[in-house]
Each structure stands twice: as structure tokens, then as C-alpha cells.
Structure 1
Amino acid sequence: MRAFFRSLSRPGAGGHHHALFRLAECVPFLIALVVLAIELSPAHVIYTGPLLVATPALAAVTMGPKGTLAAALCAVGVSIATATHNHAWGGQQVYTNFLALFLVSTASFMTSRTERTRRQNELNQVRRIAAAAQDVLLRPVPERLGPVRAASMYLAAETGAQIGGDLYEAVETRYGVRMIVGDVRGKGLPAVRAAAVVLGAFREAVHYEDELAEVINHCAAALERDAAAASADDAPGLLEGFVTALVVQVPEGPTVEVVNRGHPPPLLLRNGEVHALYPVSPLPPLGLEEFLDGTSGTTDSYVFERGDRLLLHTDGVIEARDGDNVFFALPEAMAELQDCTLEEFLEGLHAGLMRHTRGRLADDVALIVVDRAEHGDGEAAV
């Protein structure tokens, strides 16, 4: 579904920023090369000392302590080479340049080291906050919920991140076990905010809405209210955004009910074969209610018996590609892991996904897997 709306996404400038940053890192060494070229040419009468002394200070701005030290050593090497080539040893200017280079290099190295420590402390604090936010937003599902055994996993694509734009939850209610999996368009704090809005609405609605379709409609209404508030406050929010999501209900009987709002369908593993539970009437994602054509949502029912395994996932799994641009074969991976426990099943999918992408996820991944169980099979209901 994300591919369907890909044309609506705005291209990011992260690649350009990365290239400019890499170019800035090369500036100190380019200056050293320019100084070397001048000193080895007939134009060596030009005084290049200040340029060479500036290289460690420039390196400290864009690189860490190691980069600053490398730039300083490069500058010293150029100074020695040019002084030897121009027979300048013994002159006061040469030793003055060396002294200035030593002082600037020492100060730049210390500054870079202090700045690196400060940034690391800030990063550690952000990670602690992200971990706390994850405990609130994306809590691991209980091992047993009413008629099912369950397990969950979340993988953030961004390096060092704990949470992103994918969401999941599973709650035991008087109607049965109700679950949600969703994917917010976009990244960063606005995506986390949208995920929090949808999860908050879901956790409230699952306990009092009789109809499963009304649960997801409650989530859509909350998303719309937050977008309106963000627009009024001119704050980063959900403007022009949407959330693909599906809600699932597993009652005591051998069925499962699904309302799908533009999300990849759940996958049912039965006797070694994987079946996609496609919606009878496709519906648009949350945030695009104008395309509902007056309907409030359709609930589809499927057989879900003891021994069956149901996987709810986001498109970060099925759209993951290898170096040859081949998508990850999720149904085949599920079939190979059919005899594993739920935890081993998710770990196996995780390992297969990392092998396929060589450890580089392009999108966040959220997974919930449930097995149909029976009371008295060795585990107490929660």
C-alpha cells in the first residue's frame, strides 16, 4: 500500500546533507594539498603559514578527535616537506609556524574531544528517553491473551532509534483479543506523534466499542482531531499524512475478524501453507476518510482454528530488498519456521530479514504473531 501512495511522499534532502558534510570533512586536507602545491612551485614566495595552521581548527568543526589529529599530522608533514624542499630550516618563520601549528592543533584536539563527549552524553540521554517512550507506546504483548498465545517485535530502521512510525498493540477485552498494527506515513517526531495518537485511541476504544469497525473509526477520528489541532497551532503534526492500519479480533470461537484500512493483509500459516487474508472491500488508510464512499468500514471474518498461526506485520518486512532489489520472501520464511515457538518464530524472521538486507533496514518493522490456543493447555490466561 505504501507503494501505491509513494508519489504523495516528499523527497528528503538527507542525501544532499550527507554529501555536503563529507565534502566539508575533506576541506582541511584539500587546504594542505594546496599549500603543498604552492610551496613546491615557483609561487612558494607566497606566505602560506596561516592556511596550514588553520587545518586542525577546521577539522575540529566537522570531525572527531581522530580526524582532527589526522589533519594536524598532515599539516606537520606538509610543513616538514616544504621547509626541507625550500631549505628554510634555521629561519625564525619556520619555527614560528611550527609553534603556532602545535598550539592550534592541541587546542583543536581538546575542543573536538570535549565536544564529542558532550554529544555522546546527549545521545545517551536521547536513547534513554526513547527507551522510556517505547515502554509506553510499544509495550511487548503478553505471552498469553485469552484464546491465543502471542509475541511481538519492533525494529527501527534508523540507526540508534528505539521507536518510529510503526505501531502495534494487543489487548484482551470482553469481546475477545483485539489487536492493531499500523504504519504512519513519514518519519521522525511527527510519525511518533501520529503513532501515539492512534494507539491512545485504540487502547480506549477496544473496551467499549461493540463493533470492530467502530474501533478503527475511533482511531481515525482521533487522528483527524490531532491534525486539526496541529494545523491551528502551526505545529509539526499529521498534515497531509495518513496511517495504514488494521485491527483484528480473535474471539473464543474458531474465527478471526479483520478490518483493514490500506494495510498489508495478515498472513495465516496453516499446515505449512501461508494464506493472505485480503479484505473483501479495500478501504483507504486513516486520514483519507474522503475516499470511504459513505461506508464506515467493513469487517471480514476468516477461519482461525487451533494449530493456526497468524502474523500481523508492516510493509517494512515485505518491502525489504537485497542488493539485487529482490523483496524479502515473507511467506516462504514463515513456512520454514512453522514448528518453532512464537519467540523462535520472530527471531527466525528477524535473522532472515537481516541476512536478506545485510543488516540495513530501509523501513521500520512491527510484528505481532499469535497462535490459537485452548484453556487448560499448560498456560494460564492473563
Structure 2
Amino acid sequence: MLSLFRSSPRPGAGGQSGVLLTLAQCVPFLIALAVLTIELTPAHFIYTGPLLTAVPALAAVTMAPGRTALAVALALAVSVTTATYNQAWGTLQVYTNFLALALVSIAGFITSGAVRAYRRSELDQVRRIAVAAQEVILRPVPERLGPVRAASLCLAAGTGAQVGGDLYEAVQTRYGVRMIVGDVRGKGLNAMRAVAVALGAFRVVAYYEDDLVAVMNHCAAALRREAAVPGAYPEEALMEGFTTALIAQVPNDEPVVQLVNRGHPPPLALHEGRTRALVPASPLPPLGLEDLIAASREKPESYPLVPGDRLLLYTDGVIEARNPDNDFFPLPEVMESIGSSPIPQEFLEQLHEALIRHTGGHLADDVAMIIADRLEEESGTPVI
């Protein structure tokens, strides 16, 4: 989403799980501290062997191998320190404690490795299913659509098995080539359901609705109907749900591009080696926030797009990608450096490579892009 509409993470189930996990990871170290305190004070008559044995067991369940090894080392250090302080070397109790600590540590490492391998395998399988479902909904755009030559690209961020909320589509109609790019807030099944609903509405209405604003309104209405279905979404999803969207139309017989932008990053047009952002004169809020706008304000805006120009539609995962120095990805400069000579698919591949170099291969958000080159003359028969 645009940073204007981005909020801090909500204190939901995910946040609560993170807090609980952090607390659980502190428990082994608190136990070691408690044992050390007991053994170095007059309360050392309390038998602390079982308490110290719990340190590696709890660490193996809640921590990665590196931190588990640190907890085991701490437990050994506490055991050596207390045995030395209490002059207990040579007693059966000390050697029994060390043996129990070693056995529990070894068992913890073995169990932790097996559990992590199983979870990784399970996550990989869920991720493959999620990606397959996303690819069914987000199909590649055709290479040639009437007066434009097009290509698309969709990249998933490293977000586990969570599918993203980016959407795109391009279709050839009797009004020209119509394209949509959008970003549903959030991830997971709710976001993918919203993507399917918005794209389904666009793919139907784009062919018969002559008003570009009406096309956008049909997508918004479809999302509202879906959200209104009882039990379709959790309550928190209804409270947060909105979608930034941009619909572009390249007419068959006019050297322009017409845009309806609802809170989405403005597209970039490359003309004679220079890029310009097609910023709307009257910014509008995302879909789902229709109460904030007046119907009379919403109308398509036209910008020049002559043969030879290149148009790039994208989601905010592109411009908000950061490098290790926390610098944003310089999309206009990279677009100018690549130029207009490569065919659209090669252009997106070079843009992808530049994005990966900039981020070091770690995308923080999903990325979707459509590129459209305005050609000299129309090819094909418009769809009726």
C-alpha cells in the first residue's frame, strides 16, 4: 500500500504470538539466573538439579540451534560455578547433574533438528500450494494487445506461506487496451480472495462498460458485496480492508493514456529517454473508502502516450524496496538507464535484476508490474 495509508501492525493474534514466543525464550535464561542466585546464597540447600536440566530442554523447543547452544553453555557455566563455590566437586550429586544436563542437551538438539526439518518441509509444501493458487489468479498478460505490446511480472516477497495481495490484468476491448494494477491490504487467504473478486469484476465489466470510472466503481462494488457476506471475513479484516487500484486505458485511435487512480502509486511514462510520473491532479482514496470522495470529482485523466512511448504500471513493493543503507529503489532512474530499446519482457527482466541487486535479494513486499509499449499502428480486431 501507499505509505500514506500504512498503519502500524495491529495487536492481533500474530502480535500476541510474538510476545509469547519472546517470553518463552527468556524462561531458560531466567531459570539459569534463579539457580545461580539460589546456589550462591544461604538458600543453596534447595536442590536445583532438575531446574538447571530444564534450561536446554526449553531452549531447544523455543530457540534456533545457535541460541540453544548459548543456553546450554550458560547452564554448564552455572553448574561449574555453583559446584566450585559450594566445594561440591567429587560428590555424586554434581556428576549426576552434569550427566543429566548432557543427556537432556543432546536429546534437545536431536529433537529440535527433527521438528524444524518437519516444519520446514510442511511450510515448503504450503508455500508451493499458495504460489500455485496465486499463479492461477494472476495469469501473464498477452504479448500483443491491439495498439500496445505488453508484458507482466509478479514477484513474491520472502513472507513464508502467505500469498500477497498484488493484482494486475490487461485486456483488449473495443474501447482500447484496459489494464488494472492494484494492491489489497494485508496477506493470506483474505487478501487473495479480495484479489480474485476485484479481478473477476474487472475481467467482466471491462468489455462492455464504456466509462472508465464505472469500471473502477464496479470493482469497488464487488469488493463491498464480498465483504458484506456474513462470515466471509474476520471482523478485523472488515475494519482494515481497502485496496489501492489504478485502471489505465490506451485507446485504439488516440495517442493518449487515460487513468483512474484510487490511491495507487502513479505510473511512469518513458518518452524520448526521460520518465515522467503521471500524478493525478485530484488524488482519490483507495477502494473501500468511497465515503471520502464526491462522485462529481471522479473522472478519468488523460496524458500523452505517443508511439514509441513506454508505460509502466507497478505496485508499491517496487518503489518501497530498500537497500542495506535504507535507500528506496530509484525506479525512474533505473527505467531511464534501461531505455526503450529492449522488448517489454526483456525490460522487465532487467528491471527485476536491478531490483534484486538493490535489495540484496531480499524483497520486503510483493511486486507486480505491467509494461505497455505504444506501437505505431493497431493490430488485431477489437473485442466486441
| TM-score bracket relative to the smaller structure | 0.7 to 0.9
TM-score by length of 1: 0.83
- In structure 1, what is the Cα distance between the partners aligned to 2:78 and 2:234? 53
Equivalent position amino acid for 2:249 in 1: Q
Give the match for residue 194 of structure 2.
Answer: 194
Question: 1:53 deviation in Å?
Answer: 0.8
Instruction: Give me the identity figure in percent.
Output: 63
**Consecutive unaligned residues in structure 2, runs of 5 or more:** none
Task: Decide whether aligned partners of structure 1 residues 240 and 43 sit closer, same or farther in structure 2, where only a CA change above 3 A counts.
Answer: closer
- In structure 1, what is the Cα distance between the partners aligned to 2:134 and 2:45? 63
Q: What CA deviation, in whole Å up to 9, does each residue of 1:303-350 have, x standing for no partner?
A: 322211000012233344456655433222211111434234323333
Give the match for residue 340 of structure 1.
Answer: 342
Give the match for residue 284 of structure 2.
Answer: 283
Q: Helix, strand or coil: the match of 2:229?
A: helix
Q: Helix, strand or coil: the match of 2:140?
A: coil
Task: Decide whether aligned partners of structure 1 residues 309 and 296 sit closer, same or farther in structure 2, where only a CA change above 3 A counts.
Answer: same
Does residue 260 in structure 1 map to residue 261 in structure 2? yes
Q: Helix, strand or coil: the match of 2:97?
A: helix
Give the match for residue 372 of structure 2.
Answer: 370
Answer yes or no: is the 8 Å Cα contact 1:194–1:237 preserved in 2.
no
TM-score by length of 2: 0.83
Task: Decide whether aligned partners of structure 1 residues 249 and 233 sit closer, same or farther in structure 2, where only a CA change above 3 A counts.
Answer: closer
Give the match for residue 55 of structure 2.
Answer: 55
Q: Where does 1:233-248 land on structure 2 (aligned, <5 Å)? A: 237-248=237-248
Answer yes or no: is the 8 Å Cα contact 1:181–1:245 preserved in 2.
yes
Give the match for residue 167 of structure 1.
Answer: 167
Q: What CA deviation, in whole Å up to 9, does each residue of 1:78-132 have, x standing for no partner?
A: 4355445544344232233234334433443343233213311220121011111
Q: Helix, strand or coil: the match of 1:333?
A: helix
Answer yes or no: is the 8 Å Cα contact 2:164–2:186 preserved in 1.
no
Please report the RMSD computed on the Cα atoms of aligned residues, expressed in angstroms. Answer: 3.4
Task: Decide whether aligned partners of structure 1 residues 276 and 234 sit closer, same or farther in structure 2, where only a CA change above 3 A counts.
Answer: closer
- In structure 2, what is the Cα distance between the partners aligned to 1:75 and 1:101? 8
Relative CO higher for 1 or 2, CA cutoff 8 Å, sep ≥ 6? 2
Answer yes or no: is the 8 Å Cα contact 2:126–2:161 preserved in 1.
no
Answer yes or no: is the 8 Å Cα contact 2:156–2:366 preserved in 1.
yes
Does residue 12 in structure 1 map to residue 10 in structure 2? yes
Give the match for residue 349 of structure 1.
Answer: 351
**Consecutive unaligned residues in structure 1, runs of 5 or more:** none
Give the match for residue 227 of structure 1.
Answer: 227
- In structure 1, what is the Cα distance between the partners aligned to 2:66 and 2:330? 42
Answer yes or no: is the 8 Å Cα contact 1:213–1:296 preserved in 2.
no
Does residue 216 in structure 1 map to residue 216 in structure 2? yes
More displaced stretch, 166-175 vs 77-86: 77-86
Task: Decide whether aligned partners of structure 1 residues 33 and 344 sit closer, same or farther in structure 2, where only a CA change above 3 A counts.
Answer: farther
More displaced stretch, 50-59 vs 360-369: 360-369
Q: Helix, strand or coil: the match of 1:239?
A: helix
Q: Helix, strand or coil: the match of 1:55?
A: helix
The alignment of Structure 1 onto Structure 2 pairs a total of residues equal to 378
